[in-house]
């Protein structure tokens, strides 16, 4: 069996995104023990960097040693006890997953549902909270399956009437690409993943928990149902006690530290501006070709763009040709949007003008060969015009 040499890809799907060479180099650094003083120093630096990127002062801000889905599970298994009322906002796959976990934890689930591809109705959220008085309101800030943004500010505005309800926020696709502003919006538990806008390989789930959330966990009457994800134990490994809980993935933590350093060097506002600009250029190019976006402009994510597949076109065939002919990966639709949309990620290191222009050029070429009659305006020219209008950096 030969050494594995992966093909060169341009990752523009729903994740993972491309990793910066500095992050990949960090992965190859020599191993040390998970309780080595040098690694404990790395752990401290990661916590401080995560606080900067989450925009929080929360003491309990750590990476869970597992993927983003474990971050989701950690949030619910720590906060929910059997019989607790929980409201979940569902407008895509990840709201559905939240709902499933709530019932597995024994919570009393109420769903606020919206058609996939549409933003949440905050008045319906308010009425549901008023009726159920839940311990937790859970929502997905960046719904990866649909490309819809749910601004945390809107959730917090509704929750002003319900001070006892904790806010739980999925930031898997938003952290590092959209402002999350945990403290400003009073988010009590947020989780993310390393492979999206952080541009790190998958394998860690950054979380942050408010003092109020920590107190709720400590006041539990029953044990957390997951030993591995029980934060009352995990926090002692990441805190001053350094109590052994599990062997942390050393190399992945090296990589996360470097990816967070890159974000801080770029600056959060600069990073948000970059993601917004590349999104605007992509949308301009898509619409100049005569294609349509799924989501209304006011509800769109910058980092995950959903494009309607033209009538008569095979979603899978186009994605297959993008991969085989151009080395570009994009994603297809899930659930009711299967075969109906393309999901184009512009996340972290993958959010770059070169990628926008390459994808538009490749997509236009393939669609014309597939017999699609596109509008005469060039997608590349329209996107280039968006980039050209930007003021040069000072």
221-270: pLDDT as tens digits: 999 999 999 999 999 999 988 999 999 999 999 999 999 999 999 999 99
Percent of the chain past pLDDT 70, that is, above it, reads: 99
pTM of the model: 0.96
How many Cα atoms within 13 Å fall on the side-chain side of residue 132?
24
Which two three-digit tokens encode residue 131? Answer: 């009726």
Residue 252's pLDDT is: 98
Q: What is the mean pLDDT of residues 116-124?
A: 97
pLDDT bin (cut points 50, 70, 90) of residue 377 is confident
pLDDT bin (cut points 50, 70, 90) of residue 376 is confident
Residue 129 scores a pLDDT above 50: yes
C-beta of residue 9 within 8 angstroms of C-beta of residue 345: no
Residue 328's pLDDT is: 98
pLDDT tens digits along 51-75: 999 999 999 999 999 999 999 999 9
Residue 394's pLDDT is: 38
Q: What is the mean pLDDT of residues 283-294?
A: 97
Residue 98's pLDDT is: 98
Separation between Cα atoms, residue 183 and residue 188, nearest integer Å: 9
pLDDT tens digits along 168-192: 999 999 999 999 999 999 999 999 9
How is the chain split into domains, by residue range? Answer: 21-265, 267-388
> Between 379-388 and 268-288, two packed helices, what is the crossing angle to 10 degrees?
150
Percent of the chain past pLDDT 90, that is, above it, reads: 97
DSSP 175: B
- CATH code linked to domain 21-265: 3.40.640.10
Short-list 15, 12, 49, 7, CA closest to 254:
49
Separation between Cα atoms, residue 367 and residue 307, nearest integer Å: 13
Q: Domain 267-388, what fold?
A: 3.90.1150
Residue 17 scores a pLDDT above 90: yes
Mean pLDDT across the chain: 96
Residue 390's pLDDT is: 78
Residue 391's pLDDT is: 57
Strands 205-209 and 189-191: antiparallel
């Amino acid at each position: 069996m030969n050494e594995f040499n992966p093909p060169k890809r341009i990752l523009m799907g729903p994740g993972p995104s491309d990793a910066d060479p500095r992050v990949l180099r960090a992965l190859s650094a020599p191993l040390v023990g998970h309780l080595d003083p040098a690694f404990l120093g790395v752990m401290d630096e990661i916590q401080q960097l995560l606080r900067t990127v989450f925009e929080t002062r929360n003491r309990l801000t750590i990476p869970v040693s597992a993927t983003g889905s474990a971050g989701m599970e950690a949030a619910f298994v720590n906060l929910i006890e059997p019989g607790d009322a929980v409201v979940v906002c569902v407008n895509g796959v990840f709201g559905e997953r939240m709902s499933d976990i709530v019932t597995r934890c024994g919570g009393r689930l109420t769903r606020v549902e919206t058609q996939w591809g549409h933003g949440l109705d905050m008045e319906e959220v308010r009425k549901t909270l008023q009726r159920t008085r839940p311990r937790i309101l859970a929502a997905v800030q960046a719904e990866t399956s649909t490309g819809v943004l749910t601004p945390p500010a809107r959730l917090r505005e509704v929750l002003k009437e319900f001070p006892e309800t904790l806010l739980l926020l999925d930031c898997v696709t938003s952290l590092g690409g959209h402002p999350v502003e945990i403290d400003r919006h009073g988010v009590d538990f947020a989780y993310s993943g390393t492979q999206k806008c952080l541009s790190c390989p998958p394998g860690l789930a950054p979380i942050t928990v408010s003092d109020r959330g920590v107190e709720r966990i400590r006041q539990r009457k029953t044990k957390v149902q997951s030993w591995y994800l029980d934060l009352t134990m995990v926090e002692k490994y990441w805190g001053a006690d350094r109590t052994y809980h599990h062997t942390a993935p050393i190399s992945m933590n090296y990589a996360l530290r470097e990816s967070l350093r890159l974000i801080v060097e770029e600056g959060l506002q600069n990073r948000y501006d970059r993601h917004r600009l590349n999104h605007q250029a992509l949308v301009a190019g898509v619409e100049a070709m005569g294609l349509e976006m799924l989501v209304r402009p006011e509800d769109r994510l910058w980092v995950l763009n959903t494009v309607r597949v033209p009538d008569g076109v095979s979603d899978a065939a186009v994605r297959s040709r993008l991969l085989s002919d151009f080395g570009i990966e994009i994603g297809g639709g899930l659930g009711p949007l299967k075969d109906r949309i393309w999901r184009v990620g512009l996340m972290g290191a993958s959010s770059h003008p070169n990628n926008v222009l390459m994808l538009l050029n490749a997509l236009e070429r393939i669609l014309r060969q597939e017999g699609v009659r596109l509008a005469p305006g060039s997608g590349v020219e329209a996107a280039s015009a968006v980039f050209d209008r930007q003021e040069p950096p000072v």
